[in-house]
Amino acid sequence: MDLLLHSIQLDWPVLLPILICSILVVAVVLNRFSFYKRNKRDVVLLIPRLQKELAKNNLQGAQNLAVQCGGVIGEVTEEAVRIFSEQRNGFSRSFDIAAALATRKLESHLTILGTIGGVAPFLGLFGTVVRILYTFQDLAQQGNQSAAVAMGIGSALIATAFGLGVAIVAVVFYNSFQSIVKRYEDDFQLIKLLFLSFVDSEGTSSPVQPPQNSNISM
């Protein structure tokens, strides 16, 4: 405890940025965890029901399913229904735009975690190097004092440990959240392939009456 207090007292200019990074990590993790939890949907349950409605050319029923689903998956599905009813020939590119906009929502703030994961260890290392330099300077001025040298080196290593700890947490959650985003992107592709299967099979058929209230804002 004395070593920690000694490090905080002497190295606070370096420890302060790392502390700010740790606060940002906690804030982003809580924000993203809450967002993903609110938007968690099982696309495996949605796809068969959606397929039945599309097979019956019931776009209104498909839109209702999307609204009931809710979340990011529901928004993308609802937009897919609108595109399917209005511009089947350009469905793929239009859907990719809608999916990309949804992916931006999913990836929001993740760059903060990635940046902190890369920068925090260097902040800690910088603090360690600076403290060791001051320790050697004190040693040169005061002579051989083993206790002071040990205290100085131990204090210097705290900054590195703090930086590494923050970086490890940031990288772990960054990778975890990226895997969640990847699963959403896979779900978007499943929805896209489902609609494309009907675009290919019904490309020459007469157009279907678009669903009511189909203007969806992403």
Q: What is the pLDDT of residue 216?
A: 41
If you average pLDDT over every residue of the chain, what do you get?
Answer: 83
In one-letter notation, the amino acid at residue 12 is W
Q: 10 Å Cβ neighbour count for 3? A: 13
The Cα angle at residue 171 between residues 161 and 9, in degrees rounded to 5? 25
Task: Give 18-55 pLDDT, tens digit per residue.
Answer: 899 999 999 999 999 999 999 998 898 999 999 999 99
Q: What is the pLDDT of residue 124?
A: 86
- Do 69 and 46 contact (CB within 8 A), yes or no? yes
Q: What is the pLDDT of residue 217?
A: 41
Q: What is the pTM of this model?
A: 0.79
Q: What is the pLDDT of residue 202?
A: 58
Q: What is the pLDDT of residue 210?
A: 52
The Cα angle at residue 111 between residues 106 and 116, in degrees rounded to 5? 140
- Is 27 in a helix, a strand, or coil? helix
pLDDT-flagged residues of the chain (< 50): 3, 204-209, 214-218
d(C-alpha 34, C-alpha 70), whole Å = 16
Helix, strand, coil percentages in the chain from 3-state DSSP, rounded to 5: 85, 0, 15
d(C-alpha 109, C-alpha 32), whole Å = 8
Where exactly are the structural domains of the chain?
A: 2-199
